[in-house]
Structure 1
Amino acid sequence: MADAKDTSNDPVYLLSLDGGGVRGISELVILHEIMKRLQKVAGLKELPKPRDYFHLIGGTSTGGLIAILLGRMGMTTEEAIKGYEDFAETVFRKSNRRLLERTFKEKTLENVIRDIVAARALKTTVMIDETRDRNSLGHAFVCSVPRSNMFEAYLFRTYRGKSNHAHNVEIWEAARATSSAPGFFNPIHIKVEAVKEYYYDGALAYNNPAKLVLDEADSYLGSDRKLGFLLSLGTGLKITDKAFKVEADAEKAVEHALELTRKPVRTLSGSLLSWDSLPVYKHIKTSLTDPERTHNELDQWFRAIPNAYFRLNLDKGAADIKLNEYKKMKLLREATEKYLKKDEVSASIDKIVSMLHNKEGVEMPLEATCRATSYEAFRHAMVQDVRQRTISSPQFTGRAAILGKLDKHFCERGPGSSPRRLFRIWGMGGVGKTQIALKFRDLNGSRFNHVFWINAATTDSIYESFRKVTAQIYGGNPSRPNITGVLNWLSQNRPEEWLLVFDNNDSDSVDVSKYIPAGNTGNILFTSRRKDIKPTLDHNQTYAVDIMDEKDAVTLLLRSSKLEDQLLHGDNEQLVGQIVKELGYLPLAIDQAGSYIHMQDCTFGDYLFGFQSGRKQLMEDPSMGRGAFNDNPAVYGTFELSYKALEAKSKDNSREGRAALNALRILCIFCFYHNENLTDEIISRAAMNDKFDRDVLGDKESVAPLALFNLKGDKSWDSTNYTDGISLLKSYSLIKKAVINDEWHSMHILVHCWARDRMHEDAYSFHHYAARSIIFDSFDQKFRFEDERFTARLLLHLKAIMEHGAPEGGDWFKETRQETKYAKLLQHVGMWREALHVLEKTVQERRDNLEPEHWLVPDGIWALAKLNKACCRFDEAVLLFHECIDLVNDCSSRDWAAKHVHSIGIDFAEVFIQKMELGKAQNMLVYIIEEAEKKGSKHPQFRRALAALAVTMQLAGINDQAEKLEARILELCLKNPAVGPGHRMTMNAISNLATLRSERGEHEKADDMWRHVLEVDERFRGKEHPNTLTSKRNVAVGCVKLERLDEAEQMLREVLEASDRVLWRTHLDTLATIECLAGVLYQKKQVDEALDLQEECYNGRLEVLENQHPLTVKAEADLGKMRDGRLLGVEELAQVQWQGEAFTGVGDSNYVLQDMNDRYLY
């Protein structure tokens, strides 16, 4: 490599060398290993020189000597090690110590350095090297301290710096100045820049010169140059090999110092230090020269930038070696070589070598390393600076409402007008708050003489932003912000109208109120994730930013993917709609999706597939699609800021800290349910369930959810922790209230996904298992009337938790019972097809994993048999019931068998009722009633058997007996507090009595009763629940009997339309509706449609039932009469659906409550 090679476009590589006497040999050994590996990787014949790779080398004390050897003299590490060992042996040998003094002879030190310089045969012997310019490699400096100001470093450079030039200083003088350690060498008295001064060892001010190296690089090489990395080498940790910590010693020293202040002190002793004060002196000395403080600060600084900063420092073996013990240098070399073999150390060296060889860097401007209070603060401020100087996103779409609101609020007015106008736009991360503020500035910036942009994310970012504002107002490039000056300027600048924007004002730890100028003029705009952040504003000074509507979202996607000029057709139109829906209409996510589509040149279908299969990577990695601005964070990154804020707050031992912890608990559970209509009933019902498994909820000190389930003294749920937590989640825009019910909440779909995706494997398994246990313990599979509305709302959440699969390492027995419970809920709300799928899978797993005698096997088969009965799969149901009864007889759990055998018999009898084998059904039911009555008339088995027998009597034409049975059932229901008015069985009894009254000609009374049942069903079960549809069809039949055919037709068409969605076309309930409508239309002379419908009814029953079934026979007979043009009687026109468990109407997976859809509002 040529000495003066131009590297102006390369990343800047910096080397910092600590002081430490003879321990400096460790630095050279480390650097030698780096150079050897670099030689091998680069395929070089000779060992490369550090100055051919590092732009700047800075050192202090013996580290300064090494900087001179490597930088100014251009040695290899091999040469430097040899020279350093010779130097140490000559300078620190006993013969060079002065008599009666601890110090060594300076002349020997000076002569050794002069000899080294002479041996190199340099063109000049002054420190400055005029052969190298700013763009060259191999610059160096050493650090010293002048006696006139021992708190400031004085640098002797090989280049022309901006201050203390020292151009006349010889190399040996600079080396003497940096190594004049008090107690070892006297200071050197030299003339620098026409002034004579004493200079001491630079370690007194900077024993770790890494920060000086950064400052010098920024000052000399240029603020815009990009950092490759900073390598800081130490001379060994100042702790004993027993891991004794300096900090602990410091505490003892301070305690001892305090004790000294309490003791009488000898005065006028002529002694500067007493023996008692020596520990304090040693601590002060350690503190002044401890290089780890600087390292810790830099490590914190560069924490967010991998491979920007490396610190290599021998961890064991150097602590007890004094600065002058040159005979122990061999031990130091051996200890360092052992240190270099550590995996993490070796890996760091490999990375350093790779970056040097490939000229890789972290793309971080040197300015960022020097002027900001932290890199993160600098990055934020630079982002704001870029945004302040540019227009808003060229993809900006929509948002007319909020822009209009801002336009009106900050309307044009005279300069210096009052009052001051403040406004906050708030909403979840990624919703476009900053872009809205930028767009407002672009549209209306001419109204303001000045616009100042402050990143209010952290105190550091505020300081750095104010540094930029200081430059805007006062000019120049200040190293520190003049916050007081800026605020005074704003408060006193009445002739001009200004706008101050506080962007990302999200954190409780940052109170921007103290950065608001005094006075009553000017305009201030805040953007925040939080509505309730300081300063407090009135409701007319805030605006909640919502997600985009679908039209604007589609437009944004097309613009950001550079496809806005293309017309969407067919599949593409559908795919684009699906993409924006999956992204939750969130602007940041849509913008980055479009950018990805454009950069990767992929189709909408490719992106949708990639998102669905690799959502986590796409949402976490901003490089997958930056969007309009390269500095845009990843979508998940915007949510993570809120999580980190809550996590930090949760460590406080206060009500607010506990609220933050509870917020995280709720988030970690709710993210496994459906993202809409989340309700506290899930928590409260589980908490009050006596059988609730609390062991799966962890402890009360962690993010585990146990603390959400506290009970009061009366065993009711204590909602305090939940309420506090949910309020804080709303405050941070991670959750919002649902539109249709203020007590429910919803999460944005991407927040919902992120909350799961961010969990590591163990946390995911724990919270998944806990969430599943909670929701299954929140409802009773007996499905009481008061539970019906809750279980219907619960359905989406149960489906969501089941879609996540079984938790890793869960309890199989518990999971199989949960799956059966889930299937029963699906059946209960009318989703029989899905229930059938779940149960068939569950039963097969039980057959595979358990002995036939285990009670779970007949239990599952029983549930599957009932479900097949409900689906009109009567042959399958009969086979399953026979299998179930056989297994019950051999069941190992006799208690379970005795408890359920009669219920199984009732269900079996109901199959025969639907098959119209009424004799078999009657015989079974009479026997069961006799046995069940022994348990009492309130026993549910007695009531159920009675209801099934009443259906049997009615179908057999024994109406008087049927009515007596129904009346008794109704009486039992109303008297039983566990059933009561409104219960499904109560409504069935009323409806069946109405049918019997209608058959006696009491049509008006029957109509009243049917309408009452319909009103209750619609109110509590929803307008499209299968039971409600049956009730509505019964009302329509009543209208036929009252000769209100138009009303009947309208109602039947509504029922049929809903049945097509909720049930399926050949379900017996749907076929019954088709038959009723065909009869009404035939009566109204709409014969063609009536014939089509009646034929469909007949073919459907022929498919589902056998051809001899009475319903099939009736459908065929009525079809023949219609074809022949014969009149149909009223009973032939329409028949009431007899209601009972044997005839409960149900549907498939299309059935959901109407209130399950939600949109994102606050």
Structure 2
Amino acid sequence: MHATLDNGEQSPVNQAGLCLLSLDGGGVRGLSTLFILKSIMDGLNKIRTPGSPRVKPCDVFDLIGGTSTGGIIAIMLGRLEMDVDECIKAYVKLTERVFKEKKHWIPLGYNFDIKSRFKQSELKAAILEVLAEHGADEHTLLNDGRDRKCKVFVCATVQATAGITQLRSYELRDRSNISATICEAALATSAATSFFDPVSIGPYTFVDGAFGANNPVEYVEEEASSIWCPETELKPLVKTFISIGTGVPSTQGIDGNALKIHATLASIVTETERTEQKFIRRWAGHFNQHRYFRFNVQQGLQTVGLEEYEQQELIRSVTEGYIAHLDCTSRRKKCVENLVQKQEKTPLNFAKIQADYEEELYKRIPFNHNIPFQANERFVDRENEISQLEEVLFSESPCYRVAITGLGGIGKTQIALQLAHRTYREREGYAVFWIQATSIESVQKSYAEIAAKLNLPGWDDEDSDVKTLLKDYLNTRAGKWLLIFDNADDYPMWDTKSTGKAESDRLSDFLPQSEHGRIIFTTRFKQVAKCLANRVIEVHELDEKSAKDLLCQHLSPSLLKNENEIVLLLRQLAFLPLAIVQAASFIEANELTCISEYRKLLDRPEQEVIDLLSTDFEADGRYNGLKNPVVTTWLVSFEHICKKPSSLAAQYLSFAACIEPKDIPISLLPPARTPMDKTSAIGILKSFSFVTQDITNNSLTIHRLVHLATRNWLRQQNSPSKMSLTSSCKSALETMHIDFPCDEPENRQKWRAYMPHALRLLQADETQNMIDRYRILLRVGGCLFKDGRTKEAVSFVEELVRWLENNYDQTHARRLKAEYELAILYKADGQHEKALNLFQHVVNVETGILPKDDPEFLASQHGLASAYRTNGQVKSALRLLEHIVRVKGGIYAEDHRTLLASQHTLAKVYQADKQIKPALQLLEHVVEVKRRSFAEDHPSRLSSEHQLALVYEEDNQSERAFELLQHIVKERKKLFPKEHFCLLASQHSLAIVYFKQEQTDKALKLMQHVVAVRQRVLSENHPSRIKSEGILESFNEIIKRGNIGEARLQSMSEIDTGYE
């Protein structure tokens, strides 16, 4: 039913709306079509006003279209204006005459060409007999120029192109209108391949229209649109649309070769029913409102051949059984009730008549918005986003569907709310409708409420689908409108692929489409945004100014005096609007005296911070019954991602929760089965706005508060079958153990990217007793040391050694390796006595268990010798190193790293023993070999070059020393942070050379820098710090005395030069 005006005037559709009839092809089974149509017409005539004349199909239907034998029936009913009983008699007679005698029993020629099995002459004679009985002849045109009450067309297929053509009883503008007689049209539409010969009409040769259009319902729709509404939508004009099948599947495609025709026919078998299903989906509103009907016998006719005229009684019996079935009886009753209202034929200007009526109806409907919240008076500047939305939605080339996406709590709903009020207030004629899209139930409820307030016909009918009612209304009769779906986060309810539901169940099918309408979706899920919208606008955190404005809107002026505290709080809250509003609510509700009190709460242990961020609060523009806390707003997303613990996205989210939230290298993520799987998993996290991706360094960053909330969510998952924070940390530690690199220079970039995440894992309470923790401590310590973070390295390796001492015998290789590395760190940290003692312990243990030429034993002896040198035991160092170099020289090639390292250290000992010439000779050899083997910036090469520069200086080759030191400082600046001990050592030495060259300003500036850094990073008693402080003091004293040229400075050789 359609709405009525206040004066009781009914919609024109009720009395003059289009009635359309579509008839499938099916040979003798066309009788089934006629029996079904007879039951409808008999029912209609039965309930018409007593005494009124019986009506025929041509009196009721404005357009009848048919294919093949359905086309012949369409001509009989519409063009010859026969009633159904007459048509049945004529059709029975025609099929008996045509199919009684075969022209060829085997439809194959010598070249396997198709040969027609039945005589076309018999079909033509049978058609002419029917024409003669109704005042027509062979030359009577299908379109004779008269304006008849029922328009008719039949489908035929052009053999050359396999394209469908309509032969019409009327003329259409801008279409090809083939002039055909009634007889030609009937022959053309029924010229079934292998049954009858093709039919020629003028330059065209036609075959059976059933090829590709056996169910012609879409062609009926197309023809009706072309006749009555070529520029507007057809559906609002249709009162009743009936499609009747023959229970027989149809065909598509044509080939003249018999060997191919079987495959062609087999591939088309489901075309008729597929067309039916597709059409019902598109016309779901009419179908649900009982304005579109499809009748087709489902069982019993499959075995009846197209030509088996002797099966008439079976066709009648099966069809009558179908008609008597409860479902068919109910639908037929509603069909008749609809048809009986038809009082007059539909005029050609009916689209304008209906549009005028609906415009008047719309003017009288007071309801034009259901915006759920008042405009937010404390809304802060999001003008960029709102202006962008307005430009996209309302420009001359508009985008009809737009999605606003972003992290939960970022302010998507508030932006949509402001736009809704602005549109309603400032854009004349726009209705604004708001749908709460948190679930299918909430969408259904919102649709129902809007339909009820609009008083849409059928809104209170239990059999009606309000979603379809509102969709059709917005599509056709609502004027200009803006429709907002807020919180459209549930992807499965929009898309059937993710649920396996029937395609008719997906919510996206109920979205209206009109050139006068616009739709906005707010969603935290980019996958939903891309599925539903043509344009996606992403909302980010507030900038500092807007965040301040938002906080100021919600706090008393007395709390806003300290600008620095405001900025610090906003940074802690990551400029997230919902977190800012929640913080302000807590501060006001608990009468805190200053912002710093709340900041102190945010600095409390992690669980307390989570409790704070989980506090519920009242806020403008939030739904009743939905929790507001910033942490709670992400729980649904967590559950969605992690509902399958085995999913890669869930693994990545839990992994990210265990490490640093910023700059997570994608290469560090747990392994995926394929690169595509990894990309897809990252895409899911990005689609929820949980992470952002930095393409330049190939890393991800998880939002700080999301990181905190994810950790809390994982902490609460206590079930063994679920992910928990402990199990996630264990998995992350396993991944780190596999991926964290060793401290080779070529791995520097990688370990620096991984280091913050490894440290976060190692410092976590959950990992303190995990075995994998102790498997990476040594690598982490080694890399920290190579980056100049010696004290941190010492701490981690000391922990490892303690654990190994408690779990392994002193002779165990892993324990000895760790003790050796710790001794190196002690030496670098200036703890020379500890280094010496530990090296001696390792060497003593290995003496009893390893051969004299074992690489590990030689390395330990090398370390001990180096410790002797540092501790002033030069002669002991010299003896041991000369022994080591001899042994290694007999084992390794001259460019072997371990041999070069011992030669380097021996040269340092020669220098310390004032044997400058041997030191110089050995270092020049080492540097020459390393220059052949290592890159210019290799740390080991730079270290030996540095040592060589010091020996040059002692050998009075100052210019060579100066050039070499300048090069070393330049390369180490590119390689190391400014706190690195190697860089500081070379700067220390260069400053001394500057001073000796009387470049005092450069010398002072550089040494002051070295002293300042070392005072910041080294203990007061560290030898390197003490020496630099002493040199600086000497600089100042010499400058003060004014005798720079005569000055003698402490030897530079006392300063460590870097890696050995």
Q: TM-score range by the shorter chain?
A: 0.5 to 0.7
Q: Does 1:486 align with 2:479?
A: no
Select which of 889, 899, 909 maps to 1:952: 909
2:373 to 379, 389, 406: 389
Q: Residues 605 and 565 (structure 1 numbering): CA distance in 2 closer, same or farther, change over 3 Å?
A: closer
Q: Deviations 1:247-297 (Å, cap 9, x if unpaired)?
A: xxxxxxxxxxx9xx99xxxxxxxxxxxxxxxxxxxxxxxxxxxxxxxxxxx
Pair 1:502 & 2:485 matched: yes
Task: Give the equivalent residue in structure 2 for 1:545.
Answer: 539
Conserved 8 A contact 1:463-1:481: no
* CA drift at 1:1138: 5.5
When structure 1 is superposed on structure 2, of 745-754 and 512-521 the one drifting more is 512-521
1:546 maps to a residue whose letter is H
Conservation of the 8 A alpha-carbon contact between 1:991 and 1:1139? no
- Are 1:640 and 2:635 matched, yes or no? yes
The answer (yes or no) to whether the contact 1:877–1:911 under 8 Å persists in 2 is yes
Say if 1:985 and 1:1140, in contact at 8 Å, map to a contact too: no
Post-superposition offset of 1:799: 0.8
Q: What is the match of residue 408 of structure 2?
A: 429
- Choose from 591, 604, 610 the match for 1:612: 604
Whether the 8 Å contact between 1:455 and 1:502 is mirrored in structure 2 is yes
Instruction: Name the structure 1 match of 2:576.
Output: 586
**Which residues of 2 match residues 783-798 of structure 1 at below 5 A?**
783-798=743-758
What CA distance in whole angstroms lies between the structure 2 residues aligned with 1:1128 and 1:568?
60
Aligned in 2, Cα 1:460/1:820: closer, same or farther, shift over 3 Å? Answer: same
**CA separation of 1:1051/1:903 partners in 2, compared to 1, >3 Å: closer, same or farther?**
same
Which residue of structure 2 lines up, in the alignment, with residue 299 of structure 1? none
Asked if the contact 1:789/1:1020 (under 8 Å) is kept, the reply is no
Secondary structure in structure 1 of the residue aligned to 2:491: coil
1:443 and 1:1077, CA in 2 relative to 1: closer, same or farther beyond 3 A? farther
Give 1:835's aligned amino acid: A
Match of 1:1132 among 1039, 1049, 1059: 1049
Match of 1:755 in 2: 710
Change in CA separation of 1:420 and 1:1125 when aligned onto 2, cut-off 3 Å: closer
1:843 aligns with 2:804: no
How many pairs were matched up? Answer: 669
Match of 1:983 in 2: 938
1:532 CA displacement: 5.0
Deviation of the 1:732 alpha carbon: 2.5
Gaps of 5+ in 2: 1-298, 304-368, 496-506
Q: Give yes or no for the alignment of 1:834 onto 2:751.
A: no
**Could you state the TM-score of these two structures normalised by the residue count of structure 1?**
0.51
Distance 1:1133 1:925 in 2: 26
Corresponding residue number in structure 2 for 1:738 = 694
**For residue 444 of structure 2, what is the aligned residue in structure 1?**
463
Match of 1:248 in 2: none
User: CA offset at residue 1078 of structure 1?
Assistant: 5.4
Moved more, 822-831 or 439-448: 439-448
Alpha-carbon separation, structure 2, partners of 1:727 and 1:984:
40
Question: What is the letter of the counterpart of residue 589 of structure 1?
Answer: A
- Measure how far apart 1:1031 and its partner are: 4.0
Structure 2 match to 1:1093: none
Structure 1 residue 438: deviation in Å?
A: 2.4
Aligned-residue RMSD, C-alpha: 4.3
Task: Output the amino acid matched with 1:390.
Answer: Q
The worse-fitting range, judged by mean Cα deviation, of 470-479 and 792-801 is 470-479
Deviation of residue 433 (structure 1)?
Answer: 1.7
Q: In the alignment, what sits opposite 1:14? A: none
Written as runs of structure 1 = structure 2, the 5 A alignment for 1:1032-1043 is 1032-1037=987-992, 1039-1040=994-995
**C-alpha distance in structure 1 between counterparts of 2:439 and 2:910, whole Å:** 78
Equivalent residues of 2:435, 2:447 under 8 A apart: yes
Cα contact 2:985–2:1055 (8 A) shared by 1: no
Q: How does 1:304-453 map to 2 (within 5 A)?
A: 388-392=372-376, 394=378, 396-406=379-389, 409=392, 419-420=398-399, 422-442=401-421, 445-448=424-427, 449-453=430-434
Q: Greater CA deviation, 1065-1074 or 442-451? A: 1065-1074
Secondary structure (helix, strand or coil) at the match of 1:1017 reads: helix
How far 1:610 moved relative to its partner? Answer: 6.9
Show CA shifts across 1:222-266 (max 9, x none).
xxxxxxxxxxxxxxxxxxxxxxxxxxxxxxxxxxxx9xx99xxxx
- State the TM-score, normalizing by the size of structure 2: 0.56
| CA 1:907–1:553: 2 relative to 1, 3 Å | farther
What code does the residue aligned with 2:900 have? R
User: 850, 870, 874: which is aligned to 1:914?
Assistant: 870
Please point out which of 618, 640, 651 is paired with 1:665.
651
Q: Name which of 516, 531, 541 aligns with 1:521.
A: 516
For 1:977-1016, list aligned pairs within 5 A.
Answer: 980-997=935-952, 1006-1016=961-971
Name the CA shift for 1:818/1:785 in 2 (closer, same or farther; >3 Å): closer
Match for residue 317 of structure 2? none
Identity %: 20
The Cα shift of 1:1012 comes to: 3.9
Which of 549, 552, 558 matches 1:565? 558
TM-aligned CA distance change 1:638 to 1:886, over 3 Å: same
Contact kept in structure 2, 1:626 and 1:632, CA below 8 Å: no
The answer on whether the counterparts of 2:737 and 2:775 sit within 8 Å (CA) in structure 1 is no
CA distance in 1, matches of 2:1031, 2:516: 75
Tell me the amino acid that sits aligned with residue 747 of structure 1.
Answer: I
**For residue 360 of structure 1, what is the aligned residue in structure 2?**
none
CA contact (8 A) 2:610 2:709 kept: no
**What secondary structure is seen at the aligned counterpart in 1 of 2:858?**
helix
Q: Which residue of 2 aligns with 1:9?
A: none
Matches within 5 A, 1:692-841: 708=671, 719-738=675-694, 741-759=696-714, 760-761=717-718, 762=720, 763-764=723-724, 765-781=726-742, 783-805=743-765, 807=767, 810-811=770-771, 814-841=772-799
Contact 2:508 2:532 in 1 (8 A): no
1:680 positional shift: 2.8
Residue 882 of structure 1: aligned partner: 840
Are the aligned partners of 2:648 and 2:672 in contact in 1 as well (CA < 8 Å)?
A: no
CA positional deviation for 1:936: 0.7
Contact 1:588–1:627, Cα closer than 8 Å, also in 2: no
3-state SS of 1:867 partner? helix
Q: Which residue of 2 aligns with 1:599?
A: 589
Do the aligned partners of residues 709 and 1056 (structure 1) sit closer, same or farther apart at CA in structure 2, a change above 3 Å counting? farther
Question: What letter corresponds to residue 580 of structure 2 in structure 1?
Answer: I
Matched, 1:682 2:668: yes
**Counterparts of 2:628 and 2:764 in 1: how far apart (Å)?**
28
- Structure 1 distance, partners of 2:822, 2:1001, is 41
Separation in 1 of the partners of 2:748 and 2:736? 15
On the 8 A contact 1:673/1:797 being kept in 2, the answer is yes
The one-letter code sitting in structure 1 at the alignment partner of 2:540 is D
What is the letter of the counterpart of residue 952 of structure 1? V
| Aligned with residue 924 of structure 2, among 967, 988, 994 | 967
Question: Structure 1 725/567 Cα, relative in aligned 2: closer, same or farther at 3 Å?
Answer: closer
User: CA separation of 1:605/1:851 partners in 2, compared to 1, >3 Å: closer, same or farther?
Assistant: farther
Deviation for aligned residue 1:904? 2.1
Separation (CA, whole Å) in 2 of partners of 1:544 and 1:420: 16
Q: In the TM superposition, what is the alpha-carbon distance from 1:502 to its structure 2 partner?
A: 2.6
Q: CA shift at 1:550, angstroms? A: 4.8
Secondary structure in 2 aligned to 1:777? helix
Aligned residue number for residue 828 of structure 2:
870
Q: Which has the larger radius of gyration?
A: 2
**Whole-angstrom distance in 2 between the partners of 1:916 and 1:397:** 70
**Which residue pairs with 1:928 in the alignment?**
884
Mark the runs of 5 or more structure 1 residues left unpaired by the alignment: 1-257, 263-384, 652-659, 684-704, 711-717, 1083-1089, 1091-1118, 1145-1162
Whether the 8 Å CA contact 1:420–1:522 is kept in 2: the answer is: no
Partner of 2:313: none
